[in-house]
Structure 1
């Protein structure tokens, strides 16, 4: 239901109705509390309409086509190119045409009160919501206020960039046509995925990255992706910055790079990082800095200089706390937090120890990620570099993913690589990365091994089925046994 009351009192107020906020509110209601959720845009948030779902819809047809063409008989049965119009139409189905009616119905069915408008923290446990027509509703929380406002695309201070009307992830995932030429600033996940998608849909793509492609994962994985992008016609500029942008009278955008080269495109997509949605949140009213990421403790309570704000009534979950800017981790935090708020409302203090149910420790030890490029990249836990930085005695085991029988059956000319990162002192896996076609389904097994801290000797008894790509686990363990 939608509340129009000027004063509403509930147990929990959640600001932001993306996947994280929805899950916090739902968990609280399932625990017997009442909850109101505030949203200034579409219920369902960035993931549903401008990120995870539409971006993967843009990528999926091309991935299926590549898989078919990697097999000789299936490849002969495939004729013609991708129908970009059909791809965009299927994308629209996953965003429900940018209509959140279905998501609102879900909230209603879950017993969560929806208040539309811009939410601002006014005082302790108090949120004011201003609707588009200026109507203000005041929400009072008996127990907790949760900030789940997410993040937005960061627009770097490049001369002239704002004047060329750059795309962000929103314009890219919501595109109604495919530009002939697309320049992308940023070689991270969004930049690499959109380079994969738009090059497959017919754009001539130029990718500009100040570092390497996919700097957030193991270098070998980024190298595989960069090579595949270049093989598919993407021009990659690494180790350079875009320093100026301008749109000429013909409508072309011209990017000047720090090495004095120029990239010309019809549109420019900025994929240079994220910024927290906290500028207009009323943080100054509780002694915090507007526009900042929100620091949290292990209970996800917002802290300032290490001390919880007030008596731990203010929490932050999802992107906005900068722990792991991934939808599934936001939802994971939300489940832990919702249960914790319910427990504290009952006068209980939950267990926040390592791997305790109410502590979001995976954000520090077992972040999981799939990058839906060609080829796919999966990662959980530490890279070799981050493990060394954490003071772990690191063992690294690599294996050619294409040398596994299941891979050669999966696709002719299969190329990929997998890496285990081992804590030598404890003999457990602390990180896993793989790159190759259709590696996403390997991720959960690796995640269980990392989270469960399964000794390598025990992993020998987790027998992979033959002939599948999962046989890589056996080959990695065999290599580890020889090398250690």
Structure 2
């Protein structure tokens, strides 16, 4: 017979079913990398996943979205190249595009990812992982069975984010798309309303407009891609309009209603908009609401604050890696954090000294100084480090140097009617770069050179000797440096 406890004595801790050096909750790219680094250092590791091993990036974000976008961007380039224009004039083969997208998600099956986890020697637990106290994790499987795990050294939370939907009248009944539905849809909607002018909104508007939808993009602010230099959003908006999209800024949705004919959106000016589907790309919220954070004195649902080794503030064993710490909501940055965290966990477990200085092996310095990002629109927008406004707000004495990319021979050869712009932000006191932005077709591949310049703090005088090949778009570096030197 079971009796309820009537005193204040803590319940005895349950004996764990299994004990590991490191337990990771979340088997996306970030969690996989934490576990892999732990195993490479000789530590035992377990990883817990409630959905598909491989996470958001593999099935609903990076991979499927870029698979949808690549044919659209290739067609846009071909339409501006004599000799290809006639071939590129017709509509895309939508079924072929969607089938290729499906191949990159492995049909939303994670067998290959599970194989990789197994190859690292990491134990995989399927189910919902929750903290159950210090260094304790419970895993509740689909059948309700609970397994208790214990960590000798660290637990890493790598649970990412989910789409944040505003609380609007009619939202639930409208059954809106989030980024997941937008990247996995099996049919092209006739009319698609996209709410939000950030990366997801701009990319999905580009993809579905290119695949044949009539897109209306609704942006609450003054322009698209607010986190980048203003000219990035301006050029992307111009291109979307030229492709046939209706781009509206300074407008908000106040209510929704779905009936047999589609979705009616009521706007803040009193007008209405009809659509077959509506995508809300209005931000992200951390997947920390049901992780048992209260069991270790933290607030469920919060972003988790960490130091540069990715250890949660106030803890000596709990780590938060990737999107859930809100430092940089990007897969590549989360994987970078995972490498840093994995190295720090191993060093602490093995009583080795940590290198936590700027750019040290155990310090995620790039999160502050050199975060790269590409938006795969037409034109592509690529940036790293600080914008002019951010640099000035931080108190740096800077100079912005701009260049019209269309004047670069490699860009003119890339496609006719090329439009683009480049900017580098120079720290005048140190004569190094604080940031760079490139907007134009084919500029995504320019970004890593800029990232190296910013992260490496390479003096401008030394960059002068990094000679770009002719005729490539990267010759813009020479033009920027010439403009800076006068």
TM-score (norm 2): 0.96
Q: Which residue of 2 aligns with 1:286?
A: 296
Match among 391, 398, 406 for residue 402 of structure 1: 406
2-structure distance, mates of 1:375, 1:242:
27
Q: Are 1:196 and 2:206 matched, yes or no?
A: yes
SS in 2 for 1:123: coil
Question: Which of residues 137, 146, 152 is equivalent to 1:136?
Answer: 146
1:108-146: CA deviation from partner (whole Å, max 9, x where unpaired): 111010001110000100000101111000010000000
Segments of 4+ moved more than 4 angstroms? none
Per-residue displacement from partner, 1:410-442 (whole Å, max 9, x unpaired)? Answer: 111110000001111111100000100010110
Query: In the alignment, is the contact (CA less than 8 A) between 2:16 and 2:150 conserved in 1?
Result: no
- Confirm whether residue 315 of structure 1 aligns to residue 315 of structure 2: no
**1:72 match: secondary structure:** coil
Q: Is the counterpart of residue 163 in structure 1 residue 173 in structure 2?
A: yes
Q: Distance in 2 between matches of 1:101 and 1:148?
A: 20
Distance 1:37 1:195 in 2: 35
2:84 to 74, 77, 81: 74
Counterpart residue number, 2:361: 357
TM-aligned CA deviation for residue 68 of structure 1? 1.6
**Contact 1:251-1:266 within 8 A present in 2 as well:** yes
1:267 pairs, out of 270, 277, 295, with 277
2:65, 2:87 → 1: CA distance?
Answer: 27
The aligned counterpart of 2:457 is 453
Indicate conservation of the 8 Å contact 1:6/1:138, yes or no: yes
Aligned-pair distance for 1:79?
5.1
- What is the deviation of 1:342? 0.8
Could you list the runs of 5+ residues in structure 1 that have no partner in the other structure?
none
C-alpha distance in structure 1 between counterparts of 2:73 and 2:432, whole Å: 34
Q: Deviations over 1:454-478 (max 9, x none)?
A: 1111111001111110110000011
Q: Which residue does 1:233 correspond to in 2?
A: 244
Q: Is the 8 A contact 1:6 1:136 kept in 2?
A: no
Cα separation, 2, equivalents of 1:256 and 1:79? 35
Provide the C-alpha distance between the structure 2 equivalents of 1:279 and 1:253, rounded to a whole number of angstroms: 30
1:56 to 47, 66, 78: 66
**1:192-240 Cα distance to aligned partner (Å, 9 max, x none):** 0000000000100111111111111110010000000011111112111
Give the Cα separation in 2 of the matches to 1:191 and 1:109: 37
Please give the TM-score of this superposition, normalised by the length of structure 1: 0.96
Give 1:213's aligned residue.
224
> What CA distance in whole angstroms lies between the structure 1 residues aligned with 2:69 and 2:55?
20
How many residues were matched structurally? 471
Structure 1 CA distance, aligned partners of 2:88 and 2:157?
Answer: 48
**Corresponding residue for 1:186?**
196
Q: Does 1:110 align with 2:126?
A: no
Secondary structure of the residue that 1:375 maps to in structure 2? coil
SS in 2 for 1:73: coil
Q: Tell me the residue number matched to 1:302.
A: 312
Secondary structure at 2:476 match in 1: helix
The match for 2:340 among 327, 336, 346 is 336
Name the residue aligned to 1:224: 235
Q: CA deviation at 1:251?
A: 3.2
User: Which residue does the alignment assign to 2:448?
Assistant: 444
C-alpha displacement of 1:6: 6.8
- Give 1:73 deviation, angstroms: 1.1
Say if 1:167 and 1:270, in contact at 8 Å, map to a contact too: yes
Q: Structure 1: how far apart are the matches of 2:448 and 2:66?
A: 19
Query: For 2:252 and 2:235, how far apart are their aligned partners in 1?
Result: 22
Change (3 A) 1:241 1:213: same
Q: Deviations over 1:354-413 (max 9, x none)?
A: 000111110110010000001000000000011111111111000100100111111111
Instruction: Give the 3-state SS of the residue equivalent to 1:215 in structure 2.
Output: coil
Structure 2, gaps ≥5 residues long: 1-14
Comparing 231-240 with 5-14, which one deviates more in the overlay?
A: 5-14
Partner-residue secondary structure (3-state), 1:106 = helix
CA distance in 1, matches of 2:436, 2:274: 39
Find the counterpart in structure 2 of residue 425 from structure 1: 429
Q: Match of 1:391?
A: 395
1:37 aligned to which of 35, 47, 50: 47
Shift of 1:276: 0.1
Q: What SS is found at the alignment partner of 2:265?
A: strand
Work out the CA distance in 2 between the residues paired with 1:251 and 1:16.
Answer: 40
